[in-house]
Structure 1
Amino acid sequence: MPRFSFNKNSFLGGELSGRVDGRVDLPQYNLGLKQCRNFVVLPNGGVTRRPGTIYVDDVRGSSTDPVLDAMILPFVVSEDQAYIVIFWNNSTSGLTELRVINAETGAAQTVTSYLTLDYSGDELRALQFAQAGDLMVIVVDGREPVTLWRTDAGFFVDDYLLGVYPLAGSPHLRCPYIQNASSMTMTPSATTGAITITSSTAYFNPGFVGAHVRIYSGANQGYAVITGYVSPTQVSAFVSITFGSTAASTDWAISEFSSSRGFPRSVCFYNQRLVFGGTTTRPDTFWASKTGNYFVFEPIAGGVADAQSFTLASSRSNRIQWMDGGNKHTLGTIGGTWVGEFREDGTNLYLQYNQETMHGSAYIQPAKIANTLEFVQMSRRRIRELVYNNDEGGYVANDLNLLKDDLAEESRIDGLTNVDAPNHIMWTFSRNGYLYGVTRDRGQQVAAWHSHQIGGRYYTGVDYANALVMSMCSVPSDGGRHDTTWLVVQRTINGSQKWYLEKMDQFRYLDRLSFTGSDPADWFYFVDSAKGVFSEVPANVFSGFSHLANEEVEVMADGKYVGSVTVDGSGQITLPNSLTANRVIAGFKYKSRIKTMRQEGGSAIGSSVGAIRRPDRLAINMYKSRFFKAGFENPESRTRVINTGSDDVTQTDYHDQFCKEIAYVDPGEISNDAYWTNSWIQTLALPAGYDDKAIAIVLVDKPYPCTILSLTTRILESDI
């Protein structure tokens, strides 16, 4: 039988869809993997184990009320000042609670709210936002825009349209307005305080409550907010800027944003302007504020710096789904993607917008990777990358998961977030328990997908499933040296549903697996929902794990894995075998696994497709790793039904049984307080059965680091 060696010198193809199995003509095939689970593809070709997640807090903080849903947003001021904004729906009150924590310290910030939030679960998950300095504007379809301000005294939450902070008494409409062009008059009953406003013809409906009304009386312009509906010709209102008289006037205007006409569903900052996009009555229009003043939407003099509006016009529906401001103003609509800009010639301002693609967008905020914009297609199964193409002379929207088209097969894409450092990774999650990442470097033609399962489990009401990632975002950490990914994870803990705020540990390439110092933030984590506890004196019992009460967890003690234990009801763990330690980490186990694609090559009689083969040797190039298992898929498991008598064993678990365990031990190691990692090539002679695939497996199921640079498989192949 002839022997062949298949070298996988890089994994830059990432995890590929099963629908490209055997497509050896694709350049990515020989670089790709059948599975890349809880490993992250590195831009230089290797794969490294995903860091664990660190438990920060319950999303509720100190509240004990049940959670219906949750959402987190990043509030970034500078490379060393970042915050996490937490929204959660309170099942008891029916209201939406808002918290802000410091991303570096985890400390809760003072939040003062001037309004009551009551988003539904669907609304909470669809929130879109834009931030400029200390101001964040938050919108969602059908609800009033909300502002979140950062000040020395803390954070302030306010209604953008009716807000009292910080521009109380501003003599301008804080949104676009519609100027009356008919003979209809408006008559205020008084010039100040609580009044009624009467129209000369039927005009009002209950949806006008909350709208702004401006009435001119000579040179004077007064403003009022409609507070109640009386009849089609009358509403109650409260005057915010004194009216000039109580005379009937045809010179009046009413705000573009109201319950009757709708509220903006998208927002961005562009050209030093705040831009709102899409309402119920004008879904294809956007409005831009005055340059440098995010609260003025009146085109007072028609100058180049004044407020503007624009309606997208084409043969297809163009309901605005999202907007992004950068060098260009980009809009995603259900009919395609538009790109435009505001152009000045010194005295005039021109708004020029063109439809660049016909790919409709989902109502999900996009993410940026370097100079590209990633957005979710309307089906919520595809992610497209918008980029300028010199050959096309315009923008194109490439399919980013063309070779990973099973990305959202069981669910739909629910969100995107981008990490810039140390590697460009865009994370996307589906609320079926899977988290996906794509390592992206367009200049090097890298788009490598990897899939992840967060440790722990969630009870669906019928059975247990994977823990669910419900929301995520990223912010800079450690003075901008790296980005930290934050997650909201839903699990079943001790029979109850919990919503935890967690952050992914940073990528670490360690020489020595020891915990030093008394600060758990300096330790390494390869378990999920993890917590580290320090004791001044060696101890056998450690407390502080109440968030994992009555759950089985993996334990690291002073840098060494000591096995699984169950946290007791009070949140304590006891180290097995009467061990003592100063530094302990405990959290949920997760497995990291790669599987190669089906190996295809030549044979003595031509193509090897379908040929019977037997892999017998595996060489793995490791970098600063401690432990792994390796083997080949056993062909018997494809037809064998496995039952242990108590719990069924999955097919993947069955394959794992045939993997050989490798743990590096430094022969010169004399210290008992630490393990060491090593970089080496491990060659394994592994028995495997005959089949036509020869799929290699590398597995890590203990809380140690593992980085794989390359992999070589030797195969004996039949020429019959």
Structure 2
Amino acid sequence: MSAIRRIKTSFAAGELSPELLGRADLRAYENGAARLTNVFILPTGGVRRRPGLRHLGVLPGPARLIAFEFSTEQTYLLVLTDRRLGVWRGDVEVASIATPWTEAQLPQLGWTQSADTLLVVHPEVPPQRITRTSHVAWSIAPWSFEAEPYHRFAPAEVTLSPSATTGSTILTASASIFTAGHIGVVFRIGRKRVRIDALNDPASAVATVIDTLAVTGPTQDWDEAAFSAVRGWPASVCFHQDRLVIGGSRDLPNRLWLSRTGTLFNFDLGTGLDDQAIEFALVSDQVNAIRAVFSGRHLQVFTSGAEWMVSGDPLTPANIQLNRQTRVGSMVERTIQPVDVDGATIFVSRSGRSVHEFAYTDVEQAYQAADLAVLARHIVATPVSMAYDQTRRLLHLVMANGRMATLTLFRAEQVTAWTQQETEGALRAVGEVDGAVYVVVEREGAHRLERFDEALGVDAGMTGTHPTGATTWSGLAHLAGREVLVVADGAPRGRQTVTDGSVTTDPPARDVQAGLAYTHVIEPLPPELMTQYGGRTGPVRLVSVTFRLLETAALAVDLGRGPEAVPFRRLGALMLDAAPPAFTGDRTIRALGWRRDTTRPLWRIEGDVPLPLTLLSVTTEMRLNS
């Protein structure tokens, strides 16, 4: 009889796709797992039960979350819902204003921030400026261009004839070019501006001359404002080298505009001086609708079909260069803002099945787009929201199916580990502000704002304190009639049904938390059974499993005999009279019986006890028949 001892010292490969169950030759197999649910992977390779979710408030409906950081002491979460913006500071909404974006338009929003102003764009809505005056004073207004960009939409042969050079003029076109949406739009004739006031017919309009025209009569030297209700509005925006960069619009999806240096709303091309505005199109052999622009080492342009680098130091009309780097493509049906992680730009692919790291390599002097989800393809399924927690090095992606994928990304330590988060209901959006991670959760048809809280072991949770102790705890109206877990003075007190928005504790308690249960699961990959005689398929006998734990108060383990035949072995229980001490060290659990099916994991950690759990390593001892 052969003895095999396996030591798993790291989970740094995270949860692996079922397609890899036969690839024990991979290094990721050694450091991976079959299932990691409601846990985070530490940068050092250990596994920790995720924090609970603190209930903050009920939202009017689906929402987008935007971080707004004015200074280290003035950070806010902006919650955009149907025609409304709520401003949250900490866990409290401090202000709200009306906005022009409907619920259906929220997925296509793009934004960027400069000082106390947030610029927000949507291809169907005039771009807006959201300005902070104080903690509770916020305002919103359309952009005001100092000099807006122009474009010739009509064919080159179409002429425009003004009837006068000043005052009111009649513009007569050689083709039908005017629509009702052109009222208020500025045209240029010989680079002189006129504003459309009324339409006579599709080929004739009444206009007011803004800049005295040179001549009357037909001319082909004319164009119109690039952005308008007729032509659509900017689709993406960022700041780069002291210029405002606009990437694409509804009717000009592959065009880039860069403002004058230091004058963010001046897009006058002038005579091509170094500090003047820049405009050009992305022309290639495929569609390149711009989905995002990002300021990194270079100006990065993410399109529906490829990723581009705009170089030039500094960028000027004379030295700007545009080079396609990779051909992945970004999502079209919604805008997911790229995020920076250690100098690399993370973006979601057009297929919604992969997440890529757009990083510059000095050796090749070019960008590469490595697929971060290649070993966990089953986890990434149409992301709808993304945020990066720099403090804990966690990248969160909310999926269309209501789950959230979490990636621990630590390039220096070669940690690329995916786990999955789920809760009762569905996760719909995620945002991060100064180390605090917020989520929008849909529960029982209502959308709620919640925050990951290290002090909680439950979801949709609330906490309370009393200096001398109390038996009745209110504030749970959002969970009326629901069964919740209660933790009093650090000890689980079992399950209760919320009645009149309250729960009770007997005996009285000073500190209480209550909320919905969530279950964590840690399940290893099937064992690699190699002996001196080669590979084996079974049978195998599990002798013991030793878990190395860190500050763990509860552990439930299934050794494969099933919850009915052999209940979970527990360190810590669901209902205690006093808070269990946190344990650090090794715990060994013995097992009995032979197993013929070696494709199944030998053990599984699973439980919903709302207490901390951190697993550092696992040592497995097995026996095989010779």
In 1, Cα distance between equivalents of 2:593 and 2:437: 40
Structure 1: how far apart are the matches of 2:418 and 2:488?
33
In 1, distance between residues paired with 2:460 and 2:550? 26
Deviation, 1:655, is: 8.4
* 1:664-675 → structure 2 map (5 Å cutoff): 674-675=579-580
Aligned mates of 2:204, 2:31 — CA distance in 1? 70
With over 3 angstroms needed to count, the CA separation of the structure-2 counterparts of 1:23 and 1:42, relative to structure 1, is same
Whether 1:185 aligns to 2:161 is yes
Conserved 8 A contact 1:614-1:716: yes
- Confirm or deny that 1:560 pairs with 2:491: yes
1:612–1:718 CA contact under 8 A, matched in 2: yes
* Residue type at the aligned position of 1:144: P
1:351 — aligned with what?
A: 320
Specify the alignment match of 1:386 in structure 2: 358
Partner of 2:395: 426
The percentage of aligned residue pairs carrying the same residue is 26
CA contact (8 A) 1:209 1:258 kept: no
- Distance in 2 (CA, whole Å) between partners of 1:449 and 1:605 is 35
| Alignment-derived partner of residue 460 in structure 2 | 529
Equivalence for 1:487: 439
Structure 2 CA distance for aligned equivalents of residues 175 and 154 of structure 1: 32
2-side partners of 1:4 and 1:655: how far apart? 28
Change beyond 3 A, Cα 1:280–1:674: closer
* Among candidates 378, 397, 407, match of residue 369 of structure 2: 397
**Aligned equivalents of 2:602, 2:284: Cα separation in 1:** 51
Matched, 1:499 2:447: yes
Q: Deviations over 1:168-208 (max 9, x none)?
A: xx7x33444559987413468995xxx88643443212343
Aligned partner of 1:614: which letter?
R
Partner residue in 2 for 1:93: none
1:318-367 per-position Cα deviation (integer Å, ceiling 9, x unaligned): 2212111122011112221111223459x964111111112122243222
Superposed CA offset, 1:96-139 (max 9, x none)? 2222121x25242254x5xx514352x31232211121121222
1:2 alignment partner in structure 2: 2
Q: For 1:611, give the aligned amino acid.
A: G
Change in 2 beyond 3 A, CA 1:81/1:175 = farther
Alignment correspondent of 1:150: 132
Distance 1:200 1:23, change over 3 A: closer
1:266 maps to: 236
Shift of 1:307: 1.1
Alpha-carbon spacing, 1:689–1:658, altered in 2? closer, same or farther (3 Å)? farther
Whole-angstrom distance in 2 between the partners of 1:626 and 1:187: 85
Q: Tell me the distance in 1 between the aligned counterparts of 2:102 and 2:164.
A: 34
Q: Is 1:551 the equivalent of 2:482?
A: yes
In the alignment, the residues of structure 1 paired with residue 259 and residue 4 of structure 2 have an alpha-carbon distance, to the nearest angstrom, of: 66
Partner of 1:633: 560
CA offsets 1:444-463 (integer angstroms, 9 cap, x no match) = 22101111112x2xxxxxxx
Distance 1:445 1:154, change over 3 A: same
Structure 1 SS opposite 2:5: strand
- Distance in 2 (CA, whole Å) between partners of 1:656 and 1:549 is 36
8 Å Cα contact 2:100-2:125 kept in structure 1: no
Q: How does 1:222-241 map to 2 (within 5 A)?
A: 224=195, 231-234=201-204
- Structure 1: which 5+ runs fail to align? 61-66, 90-95, 164-169, 457-466, 477-482, 507-523, 638-653, 665-671
Answer yes or no: is the 8 Å Cα contact 2:290–2:301 preserved in 1: yes
Equivalent residues in 2 for 1:445-594, closer than 5 Å: 445-454=414-423, 456=424, 467-476=425-434, 483-492=435-444, 497-506=445-454, 524-568=455-499, 570-575=500-505, 578-594=506-522
For the 8 Å contact 2:542–2:622, the answer to whether it is kept is yes
Contact between 1:383 and 1:399, CA under 8 Å: does it hold in 2?
Answer: yes
SS in 2 for 1:414: strand
How far did 1:633 drift? 3.0
Residue 678 of structure 1 deviates from its aligned partner by 2.2
Paired letter, 2:304: I
Q: Is the contact between residue 557 and residue 604 of structure 2 (CA under 8 Å) also seen in structure 1? A: yes
Partner of 1:443 in structure 2? Answer: 412
CA shift at 1:441, angstroms? 1.1
Among candidates 616, 627, 630, match of residue 543 of structure 2: 616
Relative to structure 1, the CA distance from residue 352 to residue 657 in structure 2 (aligned partners, 3 Å threshold; closer, same or farther) is farther
| 1:324 matches 2:324 | no
Q: 1:565 to 1:340 in 2, by over 3 A?
A: same
Structure 2 match to 1:692: 598
**Whole-angstrom CA distance in 1 between matches of 2:201 and 2:409:** 58
- What's the offset of the Cα at 1:24? 1.2
Secondary structure at the residue paired with 1:692? Answer: coil
Match of 1:71 among 64, 77, 81: 64
- Across the aligned residues of Structure 1 and Structure 2, the Cα RMSD in angstroms comes to 2.9
The offset of 1:18, in angstroms, is: 0.6
SS of equivalent residue, structure 2 residue 297: coil
* Contact 2:160–2:222 under 8 Å retained in 1: no
Q: Where does residue 570 of structure 2 map in the other structure?
A: 661
Contact 1:145 1:264 in 2 (8 A): yes
Deviations 1:6-42 (A, max 9, x none): 1101111111111001311111111101111111111
SS of match in other structure, 2:287 = coil
Instruction: Give the Å deviation of 1:473.
Output: 1.0
**Cα distance per residue 1:359-399 (max 9 Å; x no partner):** 12224322221111111111111111111224434211111
CA, structure 1 residues 143+680, in 2 after alignment: closer, same or farther (shift >3 Å)?
same
CA shift in 2, pair 1:632/1:314, >3 Å: same
The amino acid across from 1:204 in the alignment is: F
Deviations 1:651-700 (CA, angstroms, capped at 9, x unpaired): xxx58964211129xxxxxxx87543121110111335513144321223
- Structure 2 CA distance for aligned equivalents of residues 349 and 2 of structure 1: 73
Report what 1:119 is aligned to: 102
Task: Letter of the 1:470 partner, please give it.
Answer: R
* Aligned equivalents of 2:215, 2:285: Cα separation in 1: 45
SS in 2 for 1:98: strand
